[in-house]
Structure 1
Amino acid sequence: MYFAALLARTEDGWEASDTDLDDVETLADLADLAREATADHDDDTVLVFIEQEGAWFGVVRVDGEEDPRIYVSDAAAAARSSYGEILLTDEMLGRNPGADDTVADLDALDLDGTEDGEPDGAAAGDGAEEAADIGDAVPSGPLGDAELLADLGVPDKELLGLEPGDALNDIAEILGAAEVLETVR
C-alpha cells in the first residue's frame, strides 16, 4: 500500500494535503504538483512524502523554482515500484540521461562481473535477464540528498537511520507537522 502527501511550509506553519500520483509520470510532474500547492507563495518549501508500507520511503523537497532535491531510503526497493521510479532519476543512478537503451547502458558498466556484461547462460533478448540487469544496477540502501531536511531540524544521520513505516511520522514530528500529516493519513 502506498501513501503520498504534500507538506507545504507557509508563513502560518505547515499545511498538509494528500495527493494522487496517478497522473504523475516524471520528477518534473511531481515538482510541478508540489509548486501548485504553494501557488500564492512561490518561494515556500514543499515536501512530498511517498511511502510504500514497510518497504521504502522517499522525500522530495521543492523550494520555489529550484531543482527538486530527493532522498530515497532504499533505492533497490523503490526501483521495483512505479512511484519509486519517478524519484530514481538517471542522474541519481549515474546513468546517461535520455539514453534509449537502459539495458545497453547497464551492460556497458559490467555490473555482473562477466567480461561482456551478460550473466553466464543468459539467452539474448531474455526479458527476465534484462529486468534482473536493471534491478542489479540500482544500489540497495539509501540514495540521494540525505541533507535535504538538515536546515529543518532533521540531520542527515537521523534521516539515514529512519526505518520505513514510521519514518514519515518521525520526520513530521521533528518538523512540528505531525498533526497536519495525521489528518491526511
Structure 2
Amino acid sequence: MYFAALLARTEDGWEASDTELDDVETLSDLIDLAREASVDDDTVIVFIEQEDAWFGVLRIEGEEDPRIYVSDGAAAARSSYGEILTKEILGDDLDDDDALETLDLDGTEDGEPLDQDDDEDDEEAGAPADAVPAAPVGDRLILADLGMSESQLQELDTDALAEIADALGAAEVLETVR
C-alpha cells in the first residue's frame, strides 16, 4: 500500500494534495504531475511511502532537473514506484560488458549448485548480491535549505513523511490529505 502526497510552496505557505499514482508509469509522468501542482514554478515536494518499508522524496523547482532521495534503495527497487525513483538515481542501462564484470564466476556457471553458505559469505565479503544498496540513495541534501538536515533525513524511520512535513512547517496541510 502506497501513500503519496504533493506539497506545493506558495506565497501563503504550503498547499497539500494527495496524489493518485495510478496513471504514473515513468519518472516523467511523476514530474509532470508535480509541475502541474506548482504555483509560479515554486518548489513542489512529492512524498511517496510504502507501508514503512521505504519512503521517497522528489523535489521539483521550475524546469530544473528533479532532485530525488530514497530511504532504502533495495526495498524501493522492489516496488513499482520505488523502482522509478531508484532507476533515476542509480541508472538502469547496464550494458552486457558491465553485467559481465559483476558476475561472480566461481565454477557454478557450468550448472554446479552453489552452497547457500557460500552465497552468504560472498555477500558478507562485499560481492554485489544486488546492484541496489539497502541504504539511503540520492540527494541527501534535498531538504537541507527547507529545514531538514542530511543527518535528520537519514535518521528517519517510521512515520518519516510526518516528520519531514513538520520540519518544513507543513505538518497540518499534509495531515489534511492523509
**Category of TM-score, reference length = shorter chain:** 0.7 to 0.9
Equivalent residue in structure 2 for 1:171, among 164, 172, 175: 164
| 1:119/1:63 CA distance change after superposition, 3 Å | farther
How large is the RMSD of aligned CA atoms in angstroms? Answer: 2.5
Gaps of 5+ in 2: 114-127
Give how far 1:49 is off: 0.1
Equivalent residue in structure 2 for 1:142, among 136, 145, 152: 136
| 1:105/1:14 CA distance change after superposition, 3 Å | farther
Aligned residues: 164
The structure with the larger Rg is 2
| 1:113/1:179 CA distance change after superposition, 3 Å | same
Written as runs of structure 1 = structure 2, the 5 A alignment for 1:10-29 is 10-29=10-29
| 1:119/1:167 CA distance change after superposition, 3 Å | farther
| 1:80/1:95 CA distance change after superposition, 3 Å | closer
Q: Distance in 1 between matches of 2:108 and 2:12?
A: 54
Q: Distance in 2 between matches of 1:151 and 1:10?
A: 16
Q: Which residue number in structure 1 is paired with residue 76 of structure 2?
A: 78
Q: Which amino acid in the other structure matches residue 67 of structure 1?
A: D
Written as runs of structure 1 = structure 2, the 5 A alignment for 1:26-105 is 26-38=26-38, 40-42=39-41, 44-90=42-88, 92-96=89-93, 104=96
- Percent identical among aligned pairs is 66
Q: Distance in 2 between matches of 1:117 and 1:152?
A: 51
Gaps of 5+ in 1: 123-133
Helix, strand or coil: the match of 1:88? helix
| Structure 1 segments of 4+ aligned residues over 4 angstroms from their partners | 115-122
